[in-house]
Structure 1
Amino acid sequence: MTRDRIEFVGAQRRPGDPLPTRLPQVAVVGRSNVGKSSLINALLGRKRLARVSKTPGRTREIHFYEVDERLCLVDLPGYGFASVPAEVRQRWTPLIESYLSTSPGLVGVVLLLDARRGPSQDDRGMIDQLARLGTPTLFALTKVDKLSRSERHRATRSIQETLELPGDQVVATSAVSGEGTETLWKSVVSAVEEAAS
């Protein structure tokens, strides 16, 4: 897949709103400020496709990006950030849960975890929800450029052991250096191809 043709095709603002795509979807989820928008831009080779903000909780709706008319990368609002007002979080939670549990085109999820921290309680809640739904999930450790090589290795192993994951289910990534983004992209494409076979 060349990623030559990438298009923002719309957003879902409320549970039950029609989805703007019929393509197979891979959703990107994670805590606020974990680097979702930056990683989406790096995966798709674009600088400003997904809007990046220093303020946690800027993404307040679900954004859909079609790639080469073959798959759709889906940017979900971040979860678990204390500075986001409670009423905003209360709107997001049903939106995220509704999308994850009812979208007929969802074939997989990439769950982002900050490489410098272990999984939070919110991360574990999301992991449990995805397991209950039976959604195939890849784990991307973000911001590994902020760690030394040995720290990256330790962080990756720690996540694998803590969450009892096979090695190929965890990818260390950096939106800054590009590390791991091609490996993660190939895994995204494989998830779509496996769902179609």
Structure 2
Amino acid sequence: MKVHNVEMIGSFVREEQFPEDGLPEFALAGRSNVGKSSFINRMIGRKAMARISSKPGKTQQLNFYRIEEQLYFVDVPGYGYAKVSKTERAAWGKMIEKYFMGREQLRAVVLIVDIRHNPTNDDQMMYDFLKHYNIPVIVVATKADKIPKGKWDKHKKNVREVLEMEKEDPLFVFSSEKGLGFEQAWAEIEGRM
């Protein structure tokens, strides 16, 4: 998709605040600091539309980005960040769960993991949750430019094994720096609209 038109619609916590135009939505999930903002910025061709923070745990609401008047990227709070209080984490968890389970416009969740490391327990729990509720999932392994190309297959295999991924679920490598995986990600998303 050629992206010319992107608008940050807003940051919301309650369903009544969400956009009501019925466009398909793609949620971006992953642990704090995994590269969700970088993924969004690369996909929409902007340097800083989604703010990249040096402090993990910055996203505390659902951030809606309308793209080409055709779809939304919905950035959800990152999980697994220790410096956020348990109460706050529980509130985020409830908000995200409610969105994932109740939003008709949600077409898939893009689960972002770091290819350099095995998925965390939180990544496993997120994948299991999505599968349990039959929510389509696309797994994107970011930061591929940080390891040699010859090791990608080994690392992808690790991701598949640790998450116990189902064969039909797509998994591909991505690099926000190099634009690697950009076309594959758009093809996967557009195929679900």
CA RMSD of aligned residues (A): 1.5
The whole-number CA distance in structure 2 between the counterparts of 1:23 and 1:17 is 16
Identity %: 36
Task: Map 1:1-197; keep pairs closer than 5 Å.
Answer: 1-14=1-14, 16-21=15-20, 22-162=22-162, 163-166=164-167, 169-192=170-193
**Residues 167/156 of structure 1: CA separation in 2 closer, same or farther (3 Å cut):** farther
Unaligned ranges ≥5, structure 1 = 193-197
How far does residue 90 in structure 1 lie from its aligned partner after superposition? Answer: 2.0
The whole-number CA distance in structure 2 between the counterparts of 1:61 and 1:4 is 25
Unaligned ranges ≥5, structure 2 = none
The whole-number CA distance in structure 1 between the counterparts of 2:185 and 2:104 is 23
Return the letter of the residue paired with 2:174.
T
Q: Which residue pairs with 1:195 in the alignment?
A: none
Return the letter of the residue paired with 1:55.
K
The whole-number CA distance in structure 2 between the counterparts of 1:83 and 1:152 is 32
1:185 match: secondary structure:
helix
Return the letter of the residue paired with 1:182.
E
The whole-number CA distance in structure 2 between the counterparts of 1:145 and 1:167 is 25
Aligned residues between the structures:
191
| TM-score (norm: length of structure 2) | 0.93
2:192 match: secondary structure:
helix
| TM-score (norm: length of structure 1) | 0.91
Structure 1 residue runs of 4 or more that deviate by more than 6 Å after TM superposition: none
2:139–2:169 contact (8 Å) kept in structure 1:
no
1:8–1:64 contact (8 Å) kept in structure 2:
yes
Return the letter of the residue paired with 1:189.
E
